[in-house]
Structure formats: C-alpha cells, structure tokens
Amino acid sequence: MEVPLLADDFLRRPVQLYPNKIAVVDGARRYTYADLQARVNRLSHALLGLGVQPDDRVCILSPNSHFFLESFYATSQIGAVLVPLNYRLVAADHEYILNHAGVTVVLVDYEYTRVVDDIRGTLSTVRHFVVAEDREETSAAAVPQGWLDWESLIAEQPDTAPTPVERSENDLVSINYTSGTTARPKGVMMTHRNVYVNAYNLTTHLDVRHDDVELWTLPMFHCNGWGGVYALTGVGGTHVVLRAVDAAEIYRLIEGEKVTFACMAPAVLRTILDYPDKDRYDITTRPRFVVAGAPPPAAFIERLEEELGWEFIQIYGLTETAPILTVSRPDHETERTDYARRARAGVPAVGVDILLQDEHGRPVDKDGVSVGEVCARTNVVFKGYWEQPEETEKAIQNGYFRTGDLAVWDGGSNIHIVDRKKDVIISGGENISSPDIEDALYRHPAVMECAVIGVPHQKWGETPKALVVLREGEEATEAEIIEFCRERLAHFKCPTSVEFRDELPRTATGKLQKFRLREPYWEGERRVG
C-alpha cells in the first residue's frame, strides 16, 4: 500500500486524539486542537469563496501569530500553495515576490497593510487583500479601505472540512523565497514529501514529543519554522507564539507556560544569555534550545548548559533542504562538555547522504583539514526554483544539491562549515546578499566603486561592511552612506560600518577579490557559513 505523504496529516492526528488539549497560546488567546481545526476549516472555505483553486499561490505577510499557523493548514488542505513572506523586507522586495509567484490572495498582519498598499497598483495577479488582527469587536471603521477582515471573512463559514481535493505528495505545499546570493530572491519549491520527511527528522533528532511546549522565537516564515509547524503539531504539542524577540517576554513565557523547546538564530540565543534579570524567574523546565543559521561560539553552548542548565542542539541546513541536513548534539562519540565539537554543524540526519567535494568533484578525506563543498542527496531537497529552471540545474547536479557552503569532515563524520563559496552574509540567522547592498550603494551620486563584505560582530555573528571608493571631488560620511542604504533596503540588510578606500583589489579580469578584503577583519576569528 502506498499512501501519499500530505502535510494535513500533522493536524489531523492531534485533532482526533487530543481535541481538548491547548494547541496555541497567542497572547490572551488559547485555542485547543479542536478550535484550531475549526479555524483552519473556516479559512479554507473562505479562500475557496474568494476563488482560490488548487495550485494557486496564497501569500502571508506577518510576524508569528495564530493566523500564520492557521494559514499553513488552510492552504494545504485545499491544494493551494502558501508563500510566506519575510516581514523584514521592504516594499520593493514584496512587490517582486508577489508578482514573481503570481499570488492571488494576500493575508497580511495589520501592521503591514500600508506596506502592501504602497505597491498595490503594481500587483498584477493579486485579487483579494485580507487583513489579520485580533479584536474584541470588529467594526467597518477599523478595517483599512480595500481590505477584507480575516475574522469577518471566516465568521459565517462552516467548521467542517472542505471537500477533499486530489493531491500527490510531490505537489507543492509552499514556495519559500530566499535572498540567496543574487540580486533577486529565488522561490524554493517545497513539496508535501519534503516537509513531511523533514518533520519526521525534526521529531526524531530533536526529541519533539507530546508534552513539549514550543516558544516561537523563530519566525514562522523562515523555512516554515524549520518544520516545527508540522512536527510539533503532529505530536500534539503546544505552540506558544512570540510576536517579537524580547528577552523579558521570553523569560516570562518560559516560566509561565512551562516552555520546553525553542528554535532560534545565534543572535537570539545571545539576547537570552545576556539578559541581566534572568535570575528573577522561577523556571522549572529544562528547555532544549535548537540553534541554526550560523554556529554560535562554543562559549555560548557552555553558558547555556552550565549557567542555566538548559540543553543546546545545533542543526545545519538551507531553505532548499526544508531545512535539516545535519544535527549536532552529544552522542557516544561526543562528550557533553566537548563544546568545540558541538559547535560544529554535526552529523547527517536520517536519510541524508552528505558528500564533500573538492573543486575537481572528488570526495575529500575525513581528516579535519581537507575542504570541500557540502553536497546533499535526500528526500528533503527541494523540487526546484519557481520559474527558474536554469538556477535549478545549477543547484542540482549529478543527483546532489550543491549548497555552496565549504566544510571539512572530522573523524566522527561531523561536518564543520569553514567558509562559503558565495559571498552571502549571514547576520543574526538572516541571509544577506552583498550584491543587493552594492546595488543600493551605486545609486549614491558620490560612490564610484564599492564592495560589501561580512565582518565579525559580537552579537550578530557578522554584519555587512561597505568598502567605498568615492568619485573624484565628491564627499560623503559614514553616517550619510548608512542612512542612504536604510532608505532603500530592509534595515537588517544595511551596512553597520563604512570604510573609504582609494581603490579595491581586482583580478586581471576585473573581478573583486573579496577574500582579500575580508582577511584583515577575520584574523584570529572563525568565519562560518
């Protein structure tokens, strides 16, 4: 017998087994699994009423919320494809993604309706705009003009499941846009099979279980919450929503909601570790903190486990791999206190075949020295890039996905990321494309040449630094250049420092030698991919 692996399974199970268990805590709102399924069904019916058909793209632009969680399952069960947007991007980025994906309905948090309104006239495929906001009462005056209110839209819809649509496990469940290393983001096509297998690996390797209470410090838009929206739901755990990262609120929720599990970027981990009033809270659980995006310093792991008594786990992967490729936690080969080894990306997850290839395509030795590109063959590798077959062909070669990350093997089959082939900058867990920033810098009338590199930053791991050559006779200050970028880019993408140079090193063919530019800043530091 062969039954398709469909994302809906992860909600169906807890609704059958634990209908009265709390599924979601979002501020003052608490929804049981029966409540969550009812809201999902009503949203599905509402989307059908708006004309959404199988394979249509539905976008959500929102911080973490119960609305966001509901959108995953409401779109999935009617065969639509969810497009989660990074709310930190600027309007021009949203405009490109919405048009490129051919989105028909946008679901938008109330704080971001103005962003969408500014580009509304350029959105050629969007037919309906829906605003999400929790209110005690909904009035017409409270809903922005030209928007449909989420709660009003679903209020009269039935709680029962919509008529099933025929789907394959190889059908798309989401398109997740990643900034990557090019000027335009690419749409990563995730199938039901991709997210299903990834959720199983999340459950297996991170010990996700029925009594877990997950604090959503990780944005749900980020690779579908690394698969947590499926894995935790499937075992009947409780989702505790965090709208914005705030150390005091994190500690309050860990204490009050008995949080046992959370996923985050290293910058969020540092925020938690450095919070000065953490001793005020009576925390009775031993939360498992899962970190990815960039390996944190070994000292962070030691502080978390020795000072707080909590547990550290690291995973490595990419949006294109749903994302889990490797996991790092103590095992029979690794002592718990071997923090340097635990700071590595880890060993392959179940069903993941990792290959490190040198520049000639040959496997490298497991000697901790030989460097190769991380290539992966596994069921969580994406279907391809939306409407970009040529980019898909570049990424998947000889049956392996080429990550663009460089690593070494150690004797215990741990991979250790040592660099990146491409010049993407990872700051606070977010991928930042240096060409995006350079494109903005070149719009400044005083800028003749520029290069953007990642430099060490104590909190964010690395941040963009702009190296600028000014035009003859022109003047500009560091503050002016940074402000110029902040007016044109999402703030997390902007340079945090600017250095003026007389010239920039180039090869004989005119290419910038960014490795030479980076070297002085990373002396004595370990730059990671």
Q: Which helix (H) or strand (E) holds 351?
A: none
Model confidence over 79-122: pLDDT tens digits?
999 999 999 888 989 999 999 999 999 999 999 999 999 999 99
The mean-pLDDT minimum among 205-209, 493-497, 520-524 falls in 520-524
Predicted local distance difference test score (pLDDT) of residue 401: 98
Tell me the DSSP string of 135-151.
Answer: -SS--GGGSPTT-EEHH
User: Residue 138's domain is classified under what CATH number?
Assistant: 3.40.50.12780
Of 150, 170, 193, the one marking the end of a domain is: 193
Overall number of domains in the chain: 2
- Cα–Cα distance for residue pair 256/202, rounded to 1 Å: 25
What residues are paired with 246 via a beta bridge? none
279 within domain boundaries: no
Q: pLDDT digit string (tens) for 110-120?
A: 999 999 999 99
Check pLDDT > 70 for residue 69: yes
Query: 216-236, pLDDT tens digit by residue?
Result: 999 999 999 999 999 999 999
Average pLDDT over residues 123-152: 89
Q: In the structure, what pLDDT confidence band is assigned to residue 417 with cuts at 50, 70 and 90?
A: confident
Please give the pLDDT value at position 508: 39
CA dist 305 and 33 (Å) reads 33
Range 292-304 average pLDDT:
81
Angle at 342 between CA 335 and CA 282, to 5 degrees: 85
Spatial CA neighbour of 407 closest among 371, 375, 377, 376: 371
What letters, b where the CB count within 10 A reaches 16 and e where it falls short, cover 204-232? ebbebeeebbbbbbbbbbbbbbbbbbbbb
Which of 193, 221, 248 represents a domain boundary (last residue)?
193
User: Is the residue at 232 inside a domain?
Assistant: no
In a domain, 376, yes or no: no
Which domain covers residue 121, as residue numbers?
A: 1-20+27-193
329 is a domain residue: no
List Cα–Cα distances, 420 to 105, 349, 474, in angstroms: 37, 21, 35
Which residue in the block uniquely carries the two structure tokens 């838009």?
221
> Which residue type is seen at 194?
N
User: What is the chain's mean pLDDT, rounded?
Assistant: 91
DSSP, collapsed to helix, strand or coil, labels residue 91 as helix
**Mean local confidence (pLDDT), 366-395:** 95
Task: Tell me 381's DSSP state.
Answer: S
243, 218 Cβ separation under 8 angstroms = no
User: pTM of the prediction?
Assistant: 0.84
Q: Report the CATH number that the domain containing residue 477 is assigned in CATH.
A: 3.30.300.30
Name the least confident of 57-61, 275-279, 337-341, 467-471.
337-341
Answer yes or no: is 6 within a domain. Answer: yes
Among candidate residues 193, 215, 230, the one where a domain is terminated: 193
Which pLDDT belongs to residue 182?
Answer: 43
Is 517 among the domain residues?
yes
- Of 363, 376, 371, give the one whose Cα is nearest residue 323: 376
The one-letter amino acid code at 93 reads D
Residue 511 has pLDDT above 60, yes or no: no
Give residue 371's pLDDT band: very low, low, confident or very high (50, 70, 90). Answer: confident
pLDDT of residue 448: 82
